Structure 1
């Protein structure tokens, strides 16, 4: 059974749920983490239709976003099997926080207004998971 007394398991569950919440929110339009790759490909095809260049350019790196819930599920699976989860937690935190910081600096130019609630919950859960994995936050509900 998955021990939800461990903060890492709670954070992994929150990350998986937040993946289906809006990550991009423009007011009139929002997209979850799950729908981002399809949205990016659709926008690329739309841009290709109006450009003089007929070559298709597909950005396959956007599919890395699917690693976010997969690593969260892997943490829960390893916890269920009573295997060590520290390295997977660190990898999940590195991917989530590194991807967010990269997008914040390189892609959005520091504009945070377009980020939806799902990405903020993912970042917060990743920070809590990182601090818990490294031992800075301890949560003991066994008493």
Structure 2
């Protein structure tokens, strides 16, 4: 099945890439979740607009990505959330919460889709989160989750 990615999918590609995947994976996972659209000749014209939007918000060079990674190492990110007994959170910390906390800590604007949370953050304490800044550069942020 031939698809056009509308969002970045780890291991497959970036928005605007034309990919070939198995029918079931495309039909049951990528298309229903909005990660991709079916490839047609008409949809092929959308590829350029998707790539233009991506380049506008993308970290273009490796040097710029390394600069942003240095900024991320220099800041301390603290996230205040409601907690229950034993330091358990009501819900979990999301990538959007982390992106907002980085911005509040005078850090760079991060796209929430680039933040990778390995295990769900459901307790207070310090947790490490990975950020894919560029294909060759990623950074690690220490997020301190405290009770509000």
Task: Give the TM-score, by structure 2 length.
Answer: 0.26
Q: Which structure is higher in helix share?
A: 1
Task: Report 1 or 2 for greater relative contact order, CA contacts < 8 Å, sequence distance ≥ 6.
Answer: 1
Q: Which structure is higher in strand share?
A: 2
